[in-house]
């Protein structure tokens, strides 16, 4: 793109209308102070080239001049591919766009409008319509390289179509036009089969998915057919097994039936024999019963006769025995009565023992009485002594006139205060002590005692003063002592007060000195202690009683003692011996008990004899009665057994006949048993069991038959539907679909493999393409700096990523370079990339104050570089540093101020 002119109205700070022509062949300098609108001019050119005319939103609103509702409008005339175009866009209000082409006649003709115009212009710059802010490279396309703003890092990373094109430009020689067409064809096929181009690509829903669905359906059909056939197989196995069981069971049934037939015949024979045996048994039992009956009758008659004889013989003997026993019984009864009376007499109460018991009790009471009397006398004595001692002590205390305890405490405290005051006075006062060796006079002039005092030889005189003590010894000397002034006077006054109080306190006790009163108090304390002791002794002696109650009790005891002594006068002289009395009682009682035991033993023995005699008499009476009854019974039995008039011989003859009948019946029975023993006894049970088993087996056979018939019916139903034909069709379908699926999968994967392989090898080939640009940028940087300063490293997006400062082996971040060097690195890179973009066609390079931090020398070298590049690039430089660009010769200068072009120089080619 080469710029010819731009017309701007109402775009941000440029209200316009502003027309800025550009020299097609020369360097264009647009100079102006800050705020003149240079950057807005660049922005307007950028906007008209890449922005949609109908853009909207807050960002778009910023295109309006501030605080206006004016619609921005921009028209740019430029050339591209050797053709001249004019694009006009009005934004925001009634937005519109048009692209005009200048014909050979010089007239502009509209070739696109609206969105088509937007897109056609963007296509020239490989710009893409993206809104994302982070895709500036894609939005600007080639303008990323060809249009730079003031930001030192204003070289957006190339991306999107522009980056692809630049790469294509760099590596076009690798595949050529046919290669590009081929790659496009592969990509088209790849995207027809796969969802995306990266590693997350998935196979698109297409023929493969369709085949997958068909295959699933076919496999399900196949599985259903296989299941049917498997069911037939199972049923067939089951039916075959059931038929085999049926055959085996039928054989078992036949075996059972044969066994049953044989066994049933034996069972019938056994049954007949058992019937006969029962009859024979019955006959035998009847014969035996008759024989037994007759035999028992004979035995009973014989036995009754014997019994009758025995009873008749015993009758008289038993009568004698009974009479003897009755006599003995009566004698024993009389003896028992006598012994009982004797025993009852022995257990009657003993008056002697009562008398002895009472003496013992009286003796004990007498001894207790005496003991208590003595104790009462002792208590009474002690109480009286204590009462007397108490009385005496109380009288002594009353005579002593000792102060009360509180008074005595007050006296002691007052005396202590006086003593303390005295000691302090003596401690603080000036003291002068004179021991007279001869008789002399001492006069206290200042101090105490004031006045004169006559001293005898050996007498000691003490003078005291407070702060000063002046003493005159007439004829000898005047002594004047001075010291510190103290409160001795006040203390002395307190001492006197205390001493007065003390005197007043002890005065009622009529003592000469306090020590006397102290002795008296001590004596009082001793007496008080003794009084407490006397009180305690009195209380101990009395207890809960009084002297009166004690006296009364003593009288009662004396009366009781007199009464006892009246009954037992000997105890007055000698106290009774209780132990002895108790021993006499015990002996008396033991004697009595022995007599009672002996009487009871005699009575018991007599009673036992009476009972035995009574029993013997009763037994004798019973024996006689029994014998009498037996005799009567024997008579009755004989009479009853012989009512038929038959003799015992007749009966015995009849008995023989019965015995023979029994023998015959036993022979018959033995014969039947012998036959039965040769036959199985359980034949009938076994036959019954076999019959039961036969029924069970028949039932099983029926079940088995029903089972396989049911299985076979199901088999027939399934097979009738022809499941195998369905299976064959399903297998054929599955096989066909599997082959198709495998083929399609292979094809899809092969396409992916082809595309991936192309991309990988291409990426590897393109990796080296940045190197010539890096080298070129580094050369330009060296040219600007006048010496090698750093090697520029470009990233995958062809933006500078790092530098390797000259002389260093390690790469360094760009921001470690100086501000001037940084802008020079970006400038060099931009120029190197612009060379690539302009390799087929001259291109504009629009720069907004690109080198503000560059020193004069480097700037001069940069200008040389710019001038050299004029043939390939149309430089349009916007700057607020007009002086800096003075060395740039041959540049077309325009001055922009307040949104207007003020001056122009050498705009030769701006006529387009």
Partner 1 sequence: MRATQFGEKGERVRAARLESARRIIAEATAEKVDFLLLAGDVFEHNGVERLKIREVARILSSAPCPVYIIPGNHDPYIAGSVWEDKSWSEWPNLHVLTEPVPVQVTGGMLYPCPVVPTDSRDDPTAWIAAETDRLAVGMAHGTVENGAYGELTHPIPRNAAEARGLDYLALGHYHSQVSYAEPDGRIRMAYSGTHEPTRFDEHSSGNVLIVEIPSRGASPQLKRVKTGCLEWISRREHIEHPGQISLLADDFDRLPTPEHTLVECRLAGTLFGMDDEALSRLVEIVEGRFLFGRADVSGLVPDEAGPEWIDRLPDGYLRATAQKLLACARSEPPDPVAAVALRQFSRLWQEVS
The residues that touch partner 1, with contacts defined as CB under 8 A, are 173-176, 178-179, 181-183, 185-186, 189, 228-229, 232, 236, 239-240, 711-713, 715-725, 727-729, 731-733, 735-736, 739, 746-747, 749-751, 753-754, 757-758, 760-762, 764-765
Say which residues have a Cβ less than 8 Å from residue 458's Cβ, sequence separation at least 6: 435, 436, 437
Neighbours of 897 (CB within 10 A): 14
Say which residues have a Cβ less than 8 Å from residue 194's Cβ, sequence separation at least 6: 201, 202, 203, 204, 748, 751, 752, 755
Residues 393 and 390: their CA atoms lie apart, in Å, by 5
Say which residues have a Cβ less than 8 Å from residue 771's Cβ, sequence separation at least 6: none
> Torsion-angle region of residue 909: left (phi > 0), alpha (psi -120 to 50) or beta?
alpha
Q: What angle separates helix 405-428 from helix 514-542, to the nearest 10 degrees? A: 150
Measured from the CB atom, the residue of 298 and 718 that comes closer to partner 1 is 718
CB of 807 to partner 1, least distance (A): 37
CB of 796 to partner 1, least distance (A): 17
DSSP state of 448: B
Element (H, E) at 57: none
CB of 181 to partner 1, least distance (A): 4
CB of 679 to partner 1, least distance (A): 45
CB of 258 to partner 1, least distance (A): 27
* Nearest alpha carbon to residue 456 among 434, 439, 474, 441: 439
* Nearest alpha carbon to residue 90 among 54, 116, 142: 54
Measured from the CB atom, the residue of 219 and 431 that comes closer to partner 1 is 219
Measured from the CB atom, the residue of 639 and 746 that comes closer to partner 1 is 746
Tokens (6 digits) for 435: 């021991």
* Nearest alpha carbon to residue 874 among 190, 5, 49: 5
Distances (CA, A) of 804 to 207, 426, 461, 548: 54, 107, 119, 138
CB of 190 to partner 1, least distance (A): 10
- CB of 311 within 8 A of CB of 631? yes
CB of 716 to partner 1, least distance (A): 4
Measured from the CB atom, the residue of 497 and 712 that comes closer to partner 1 is 712
Residues 365 and 372: their CA atoms lie apart, in Å, by 11
CB of 757 to partner 1, least distance (A): 5
Residues 777 and 664: their CA atoms lie apart, in Å, by 153
CB of 178 to partner 1, least distance (A): 6
CB of 712 to partner 1, least distance (A): 3
Place of tokens 């009849």: 654
Measured from the CB atom, the residue of 99 and 242 that comes closer to partner 1 is 242
Measured from the CB atom, the residue of 740 and 779 that comes closer to partner 1 is 740
Measured from the CB atom, the residue of 244 and 650 that comes closer to partner 1 is 244
Measured from the CB atom, the residue of 719 and 812 that comes closer to partner 1 is 719
CB of 795 to partner 1, least distance (A): 21
Measured from the CB atom, the residue of 738 and 779 that comes closer to partner 1 is 738
Measured from the CB atom, the residue of 29 and 770 that comes closer to partner 1 is 770
Residues 519 and 80: their CA atoms lie apart, in Å, by 146
Beta strands of 363-439 (E only): which ranges? 430-435
Measured from the CB atom, the residue of 200 and 764 that comes closer to partner 1 is 764
Sign, CA dihedral 853-856-862-868, equals: positive
């Amino acid at each position: 793109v080469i710029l010819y002119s731009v017309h701007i109205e109402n775009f941000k700070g440029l209200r316009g209308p502003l027309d800025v022509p550009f020299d097609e062949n020369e360097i264009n300098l647009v100079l102006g102070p800050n705020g003149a609108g240079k950057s807005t001019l660049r922005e307007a050119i950028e906007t008209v080239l890449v922005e949609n005319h109908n853009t909207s939103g807050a960002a778009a609103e910023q295109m309006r001049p501030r605080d206006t509702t004016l619609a921005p409008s921009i028209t740019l005339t430029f050339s591209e591919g050797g053709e001249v175009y004019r694009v006009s866009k009005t934004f925001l209000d009634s937005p519109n766009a048009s692209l005009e082409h200048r014909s050979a006649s010089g007239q502009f003709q509209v070739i696109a409008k609206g969105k088509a115009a937007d897109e056609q212009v963007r296509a020239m710059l490989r710009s893409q319509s993206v809104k994302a802010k982070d895709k500036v490279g894609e939005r600007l396309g080639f303008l990323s390289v060809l249009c730079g703003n003031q930001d030192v890092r204003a070289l957006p990373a190339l991306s999107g179509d522009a980056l692809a094109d630049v790469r294509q430009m760099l590596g076009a020689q690798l595949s050529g036009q046919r290669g590009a067409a081929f790659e496009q064809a592969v990509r088209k096929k790849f995207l027809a089969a796969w969802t995306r181009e990266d590693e997350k690509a998935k196979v698109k829903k297409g023929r493969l998915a369709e085949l997958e669905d068909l295959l699933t359906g076919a496999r399900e059909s196949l599985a259903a057919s296989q299941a049917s056939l498997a069911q037939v197989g199972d049923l067939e196995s089951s039916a075959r097994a059931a038929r085999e069981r049926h055959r085996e069971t039928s054989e078992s049934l036949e075996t059972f039936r044969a066994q049953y037939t044989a066994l049933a015949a034996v069972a019938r024979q056994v049954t007949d024999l058992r019937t006969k045996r029962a009859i024979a048994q019955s006959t035998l039992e009847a014969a035996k019963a008759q024989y037994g009956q007759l035999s028992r009758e004979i035995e009973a008659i014989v036995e009754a006769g014997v019994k009758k004889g025995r009873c008749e013989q015993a009758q008289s003997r038993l009568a004698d025995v009974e009479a003897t026993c009755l006599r003995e019984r009566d004698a024993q009864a009389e003896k028992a009565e006598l012994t009982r009376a004797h025993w009852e007499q022995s257990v009657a109460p003993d008056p002697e023992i009562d008398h002895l018991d009472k003496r013992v009790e009286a003796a004990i009471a007498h001894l207790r009485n005496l003991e208590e009397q003595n104790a009462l006398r002792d208590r009474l004595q002690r109480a009286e002594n204590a009462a007397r001692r108490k009385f005496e002590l109380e009288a002594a205390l009353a005579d002593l006139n000792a102060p009360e305890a509180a008074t005595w405490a007050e006296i002691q405290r007052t005396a202590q205060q006086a003593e303390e005051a005295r000691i302090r006075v003596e401690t603080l006062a000036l003291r002068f002590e004179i021991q007279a060796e001869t008789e002399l006079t001492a006069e206290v002039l200042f101090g105490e005692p004031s006045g004169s005092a006559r001293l005898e030889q050996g007498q000691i005189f003490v003078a005291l003063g407070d702060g000063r003590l002046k003493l005159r010894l007439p004829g000898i000397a005047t002594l004047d002592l001075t010291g510190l002034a103290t409160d001795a006077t006040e203390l002395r006054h307190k001492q006197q007060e205390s001493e007065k109080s003390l005197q007043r306190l002890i005065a009622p006790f009529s003592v000469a000195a306090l020590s006397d009163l102290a002795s008296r108090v001590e004596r009082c304390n001793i007496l008080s202690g003794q009084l407490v002791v006397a009180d305690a002794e009195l209380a101990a002696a009395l207890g809960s009683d009084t002297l009166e109650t004690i006296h009364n009790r003593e009288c009662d005891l004396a009366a009781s003692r007199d009464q006892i002594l009246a009954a037992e006068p000997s105890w007055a002289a000698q106290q009774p011996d209780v132990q002895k009395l108790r021993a006499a009682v015990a002996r008396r009682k033991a004697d009595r008990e022995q007599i009672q035991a002996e009487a009871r033993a005699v009575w018991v023995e007599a009673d036992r004899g009476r009972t035995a005699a009574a029993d013997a008499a009763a037994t004798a009476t019973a024996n006689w009665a029994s014998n009498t009854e037996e005799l009567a019974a024997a008579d009755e039995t004989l009479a009853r057994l012989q009512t038929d008039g038959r003799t015992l011989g007749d009966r015995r003859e009849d008995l023989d006949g019965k015995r023979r009948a029994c023998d015959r019946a036993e022979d018959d029975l033995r014969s039947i048993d012998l036959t039965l023993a040769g036959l199985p006894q359980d034949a009938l049970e076994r036959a019954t069991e076999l019959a039961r088993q036969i029924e069970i087996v028949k039932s099983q056979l029926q079940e088995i038959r029903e089972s396989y018939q049911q299985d076979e019916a199901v088999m027939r139903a399934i097979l009738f539907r022809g499941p195998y034909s369905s299976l064959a069709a399903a297998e054929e379908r599955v096989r066909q679909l599997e082959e198709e699926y495998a083929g399609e999968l292979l094809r899809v994967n092969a396409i992916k493999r082809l595309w991936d392989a192309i991309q990988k090898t291409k990426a590897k080939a393109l990796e080296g393409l940045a190197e010539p640009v890096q080298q070129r940028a580094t050369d330009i940087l060296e040219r600007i700096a006048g010496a090698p300063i750093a090697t520029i490293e470009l990233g995958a997006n062809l933006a500078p990523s790092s530098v390797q400062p000259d002389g260093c082996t390690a790469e360094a971040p760009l921001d470690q370079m100086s501000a001037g060097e940084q802008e020079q690195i970006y400038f060099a890179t931009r120029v190197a990339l612009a060379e690539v973009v302009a390799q087929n066609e001259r291109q504009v390079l629009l720069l907004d104050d690109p080198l503000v931090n560059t020193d004069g020398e480097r700037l001069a070298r940069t200008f040389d570089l710019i001038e050299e590049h004029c043939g390939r690039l149309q430089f349009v430089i916007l700057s607020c540093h007009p002086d800096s660009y003075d060395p740039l010769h041959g540049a077309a200068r325009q001055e922009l101020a307040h949104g207007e072009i003020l001056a122009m120089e050498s705009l030769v080619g701006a006529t387009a």
